[in-house]
Each structure stands twice: as C-alpha cells, then as structure tokens.
C-alpha cells in the first residue's frame, strides 16, 4: 500500500483567530479569541468527485480512509492505492481536495457508488446526508462476537482522558472528539473535528492506515451524543464497546442491539447507562 499526502495547503490550521466583544453582567470589553476552523473537503475517487464534507482541516487522509471504510467502498487497507491532496485546483481549494486511488475490487465498488450517488455536500453535523434512501444506511454485517468485558471504573475514566487530549478544544471550545481505548483503559488514539462523525472517521482511519485492524479489542468513546452513523462506523470497524458523554438516538440503540455492540451513554462521573450489550460490563 502506497499512501501519499500532497501539499498541506490550508489544512494545517485548526483554530481561527477572531476579535470578540465579551459581555458580562457589569461590563463589556473586546478581546482576542479563537474559533474552530470549518472548511469543505472534497473527496474524489479515481479522480471523480464523490462527496464534499465539512470538516476541521487535519488528518484528511485518515478521514477519507475511515469514511470509505464505513461506506464499505474499502474493506481493508489493501484496497487503498494512494491518497493525496490535489494540486491542480483553484487557489481557494488548495489543501481541500483529496483524490483516493483504489485497487482491485474496491475500484468496482467505487464505480457503483459513483453511479448511484447524487451530488451532495454534507454538513459537519451529518455524515449520511448523501444517501438516496434510508435503506442505504443499513449494511449487512455479522454481529460483533468479541466477548471481553470492561470494568465500570475503567469506563468512568474515559471522559477525563479524552478531554485531556483535546488540545484544540482548549483554544476554541468548539470541537468534538473521538478516542480509542485498549482493554486496560489506555487512550491509544484521538481525533478532533467540528463533526463528531468526522472525528470517528479520523481515529478509525488512522488505525486502518497503520494496518492495525481489526479493532475487536478496542473501545470507542465520543464527546456529545451517539447517532446511528457513529454506531454504524464502530460496527464496520469491529469495535465492540462504544460510549459517549451524552445520549444515543433510538436508531443508534436499535443498530447497536442488532450488531451486538455494547452501547453506553451519559458517561459522567461514576455513572452511565447501558443500552445494549451489558454482558461486556463486568459488574
């Protein structure tokens, strides 16, 4: 596998300097502040436009790899040829166009996807807006069979460990995060983005590019809520335990139960809810 990243362009800045008027109960004053950067990333397959997603620049290769995995266009790292930023684009798009070259059967799957997908720009809050129907959301995957368990006390450490690794959040206060943990609760991978699904793609994609699959001995933890698409991404990656600081949606719970994923929500302090797969919580 030969994965290449071209020029970084504007993809190196994740915080945007801005002057704000800070108002409190007694006074107001102008001061410098930072906002999370949000820019479009166009992902091309074999040179053909596939999708435009809004994301925080950085880890674009990982984002593309994780996204294509969740879309089932690639099944493993061997399906990837090269991933590089395009240089033959307008100056305003430099660093924001990524071309992915595939090999083998992945090329055929890409052709099918390109033929059936309507042009779309996804928002940072939605990673499945380009689907033609709700049926497209459901991919046939075997239930996750991993049978290891984790202690509640270990789960309770996830929010603080993930928050401590959010370097850009400290400056902007406006980024979601996804963290990958091993069985002992060690944080082994983290990604930040304005979109929670992008953060998941980045952290999973990094493991894919490093050829560290499958992820059956890992737990995924995300800031914010858990949507259907995040459960789907975890299921495709073979991750048996998924937790979040907030609530899951009803469809997320249904998919987790269908895929035998241990789904945790409201992980705060020493408490959390288990919505599916409670056999993996060692009580």
One domain for residues 172 and 237: yes
The catalytic residues are 126
Overall number of domains in the chain: 2
Is 248 a domain residue? yes
Containing structural domain, residue 74: 39-136
* Domain's final residue, options 70, 103, 136: 136
Residues pairing with 45 in the sheet: 48, 100
One domain for residues 214 and 239: yes
One domain for residues 225 and 270: yes
One domain for residues 91 and 129: yes
Residues pairing with 221 in the sheet: 179, 243
Is 27 a domain residue? no
Q: Give the per-residue pLDDT at 172.
A: 63
One domain for residues 48 and 119: yes
Residues pairing with 23 in the sheet: 28
Is 266 a domain residue? yes
Could you tell me the CATH number of the domain that includes residue 183? Answer: 3.40.140.10
Cβ-based burial of 113 (10 A; exposed 0-12, middle 13-18, buried ≥19): middle
- Alpha-carbon distances of 54 from 42, 74, 122, 158, 208, rounded to whole Å: 9, 21, 6, 27, 22
* Domain's final residue, options 136, 168, 203: 136
Is 177 a domain residue? yes
Q: Give the per-residue pLDDT at 93.
A: 78
One domain for residues 132 and 170: no
One domain for residues 99 and 165: no
Is 81 a domain residue? yes
One domain for residues 132 and 157: no
Could you tell me the CATH number of the domain that includes residue 46? Answer: 3.10.20.10
Is 252 a domain residue? yes
One domain for residues 180 and 247: yes
One domain for residues 172 and 196: yes
One domain for residues 172 and 92: no
Angle among Cα 155, 160, 162 to the nearest 5 degrees reads: 90
Is 22 a domain residue? no
Is 141 a domain residue? no
Per-residue pLDDT of the chain (283 residues; tens, 9 = 90+): 444 333 333 334 677 787 876 787 888 788 887 878 888 999 999 999 999 999 999 999 999 999 999 999 999 999 999 999 998 877 667 889 999 999 999 999 999 989 876 444 455 455 444 443 334 445 567 899 999 999 999 999 999 999 988 876 656 666 889 999 999 999 999 999 988 999 999 999 999 999 999 899 999 999 988 999 999 999 999 999 999 999 999 989 999 999 999 999 999 999 999 999 999 999 8
Q: Give the per-residue pLDDT at 165.
A: 86
* Domain's final residue, options 136, 161, 191: 136
Judged by DSSP in three states, 183 sits in coil
One domain for residues 163 and 127: no
């Amino acid at each position: 596998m030969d994965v290449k990243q071209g020029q970084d362009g504007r993809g190196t800045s994740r915080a945007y300097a801005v002057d704000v008027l800070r108002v409190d109960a007694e006074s107001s004053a102008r001061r410098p502040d930072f906002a999370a950067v949000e820019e479009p990333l166009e992902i091309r397959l074999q040179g053909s436009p596939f999708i435009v997603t809004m994301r925080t620049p950085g880890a674009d290769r990982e984002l593309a790899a994780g996204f294509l995995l969740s879309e089932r266009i690639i099944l493993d790292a061997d399906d990837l040829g090269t991933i590089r930023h395009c240089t033959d684009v307008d100056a305003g798009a430099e660093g924001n166009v990524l071309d992915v070259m595939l090999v083998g059967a992945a090329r055929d799957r890409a052709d099918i996807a390109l033929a059936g997908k309507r042009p779309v720009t996804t928002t940072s809050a939605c990673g499945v807006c380009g689907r033609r129907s709700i049926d497209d959301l459901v991919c046939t995957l075997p239930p996750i069979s991993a049978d290891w368990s984790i202690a509640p006390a270990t789960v309770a450490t996830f929010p603080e460990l993930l928050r401590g690794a959010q370097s850009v959040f400290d400056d902007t206060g406006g980024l979601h995060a996804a963290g990958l943990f091993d069985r002992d609760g060690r944080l082994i991978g983290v990604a930040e983005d304005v979109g929670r699904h992008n953060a998941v793609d980045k952290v999973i994609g990094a493991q894919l590019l490093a050829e560290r699959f499958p992820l059956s001995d890992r737990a995924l933890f995300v800031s914010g809520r858990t949507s259907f698409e995040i459960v789907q991404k975890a299921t495709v990656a073979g991750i048996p335990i998924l937790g979040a600081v907030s609530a899951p949606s009803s469809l997320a719970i249904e998919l987790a139960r269908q895929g035998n994923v241990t789904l945790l929500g409201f992980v705060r302090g020493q408490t959390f809810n288990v919505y599916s797969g409670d056999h993996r919580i060692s009580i």
